[in-house]
Amino acid sequence: MSANPLLDFTDLPLFDRIRPEHVAPAVDTLLAEAEAALEEVTKPAFPAEWAAIARVLDVATERFGRAWGAVGHLNAVADTPALRAAYNEAMPRVTAFWTRLGSDERLYAKYKAIDPAALDAEQRQAHKNAVRNFVLGGAELQGEAKKRFAEIQERQAELSQKFSENALDATDAFAHYAERGELDGLPEDVIAAARAAAEAEGKPGYKLTLKMPSYLPVMQFARSGALRERLYRAYVTRASEFGDAAFDNTPLITEILALREEEAKLLGYCNFGELSVVPKMAESPAQVVKFLRDLAAKARPYGLRDVAELREFAAKELGIADPQPWDWSYIGEQLKEARYAFSEQEVKQYFPAPKVLAGLFKIVETLFEVKIVRDSAPVWHSTVEFYRIERAGTKVGQFYLDPSARTGKRGGAWMDDVRARWLRPDTGTLQTPVAHLVCNFAEGVDGKPPLLTHDDVITLFHEFGHGLHHMLTQVNEHDVSGISGVEWDAVELPSQFMENFCWEWDVLSHMTAHANTGQPLPRPLFDKMTAAKNFQSGMQTLRQIEFALFDMLLHTDFDAAHVQPGAVMALLDQVRSEVAVLPAPPFSRTPNTFTHIFSGGYAAGYYSYKWAEVLSADAYAAFEETVSPDGAPSIETGRRYRQQILEAGGSRTAMESFKAFRGREPQLDALLRHQGMAEPLAA
């Protein structure tokens, strides 16, 4: 066993032992091994054979990727100044290697010389992707163009990392220590958590932050408009010129956009949007923009109706004649409670985290014919849990679950891979997949388990859907196993698919127990929830389209090479005037924390969420069509979905997998029906 835990590949990462001082030596060692492997396979005498290259190069790069992935993961969930410094010191060398590997003309020539007829179906798909990725990675560039391409990749990596750090630091930097009187209307568990947070710092009052478990309840429930305004202003101006200049992402956005456009033009594309869609399902940015605008046209009448109802309710029932941006969430929650006679906080009492997890596991075990059991592994925080998935007593995959929000942990929720399923070419053994499932839920207070909102439950199911895609794969070829090789605009299909089960009584009834009484969710309350399911769905759909359209236009119809001050916000204002139904305040700086597109891989790809919703809604319709008389989902349909979508991974195109499951191409009607927008409304 190596003294450096990052160099120990005997099994799972040694997260409890990894320290900042381990990063540089591990990168040095693994980088040298990967460089040596690259030199070996590109020698003229080395055979242009898939298996031969895999035995040498893929083994070395996979080890490098796993170790760096562990460092990157810790940087996202357990950020410290020392770890951040070690990560940032190593990142340029790591980025430079991957850029060099992806653009190596000698290696590109080896892959082009491989005979696809000698490969199996999985290998052929991986080979096809590899050749395409070499072109996109600059392998056909020469001289100064190739050198400049590498510089762009390195600088983009630095800027994206800094963007993410600024967003996290700006979020962590804010705290408001409220007096008890300011908290009128907030749920008791939120108040208790705020008090505990202040006490932990030895301060009086109640600590409110911009982390979701604190921020969102304030916006939804605080009766104090002044308190809502204070947090709202802080939230929408994070990492902008309105705060600490050290965290301002405005200049980073400008430089990132210019570099992306330059990269695209080096590769022969007119703009980054064109480059982005090459490996995706969508055929062109124009097709994406048309899809978004068509969907916006269908949703807009519903969005206008939603806003009219909010304004009327605010004026008549709340005495708010002129709602401000920080009022809308509060008005919406009050209207929902009045209309459907329940509150999110009432529902929340029925969703203790352990019970929810047990219910999630039950539906997964039933539908996909697996068993989920607790397992043990080194972890980075005491709240992290580890599980194993089995079928017929055989391990299929494993996953870490990191549910709680905390300082030093990036906001949001995500799934990431620790390692992929792979029939290893060096040992001939089958490597099973391992995933990270990360959320940012509130922690439990007063010794009680955490309580999840129904939205939290949906988030958990969503990320687990990604995890299942990664862990249930039966593909043995590393680069098309699980989520690898799946088109980016189809990768949300399995995650959004799982969300549907959060609205099924047969599923939900097994995953609820009141925090005080232990009683399951009453059917009348569930019926109210389903009646409210599409509450403001028009507004919410338009909000997602606003983000997606802004993202795509920013990377296509925008002069990224000569960005004028205020031009990015001007484009967002233009998009809002086209699709939004709620006015945004002039001080809002949404792009400055839009980490999805500036540091999260969704650049010119945020549309993927809406695109994949069409796929997931239509896929779920197959379950609706085969449900049993007592409401139980069909095991046969679950098996077909597992085999044709989840197990196939990236071994064929997403459209081929969808058609193999559904028997036809996807249709929009299921999505509109699920979101309560099937019947046209007059605009």
The Cα 136–Cα 514 span in angstroms is: 53
SS3 (DSSP) at 400: strand
Rounded to the nearest 5 degrees, what angle is found at the Cα of 664, between the Cα atoms of 658 and 668? 85
State the SS3 of 611-664. Answer: HHHHHHHHHHHHHHHCCCCCCCCCHHHHHHHHHHHHCCCCCCCHHHHHHHHHCC
Which pairs from 79-83 meet CB under 8 Å and 24+ separation? 79/168, 79/408, 79/409, 79/410, 80/20, 80/408, 82/20, 83/20, 83/23
Reference 16, options 400, 410, 354; nearest CA is 400
Burial of 447 (0-12, 13-18, 19+ CB in 10 A): exposed
Is residue 463 among the annotated active site residues?
yes
DSSP element (H, E) containing 417: strand 414-419
- Which residue type is seen at 328? W
Contacts 24+ apart (CB under 8 A), 229-235: 229/324, 229/326, 230/176, 231/176, 231/326, 232/325, 232/326, 233/326, 233/587, 234/174, 234/176, 234/210, 235/210
Smallest CA-to-CA distance from 210 within 176, 184, 244, 166 is with: 176
Place of tokens 């997931």: 616
Q: With both helix axes pointing from N to C terminus, report the angle between 523-531 and 328-340 in degrees, rounded to the nearest 10.
A: 130
Interatomic CA distance for residues 335 and 312, integer angstroms? 10
How far apart are the C-alpha atoms of 602 and 154, rounded to whole Å? 18
According to DSSP H, which parts of 397-536 are helical? 454-471, 493-499, 505-508, 523-531
Distance from C-alpha of 109 to C-alpha of 380, rounded to nearest angstrom? 42
Q: Are 539 and 582 in contact (CB under 8 A)?
A: yes
* CA distance from start to end of the chain: 67
User: Which one of 62, 122, 463, 477 is the catalytic residue?
Assistant: 463
Tally of CA atoms within 13 A in the half-sphere of 7 that contains its CB: 17
The amino acid occupying position 631 is G
Contacts of 665 (CB under 8 A, 6+ apart): 655, 658, 659
Separation of alpha carbons 524 and 516, rounded Å = 19
* Residue 113, SS3 per DSSP: helix
Structure tokens at 397: 């995959």
CB-count burial class (<10 Å; 0-12, 13-18, 19+) for 188: exposed
In whole angstroms, give the CA distance from residue 161 to residue 138.
22
Return the active site residues: 463
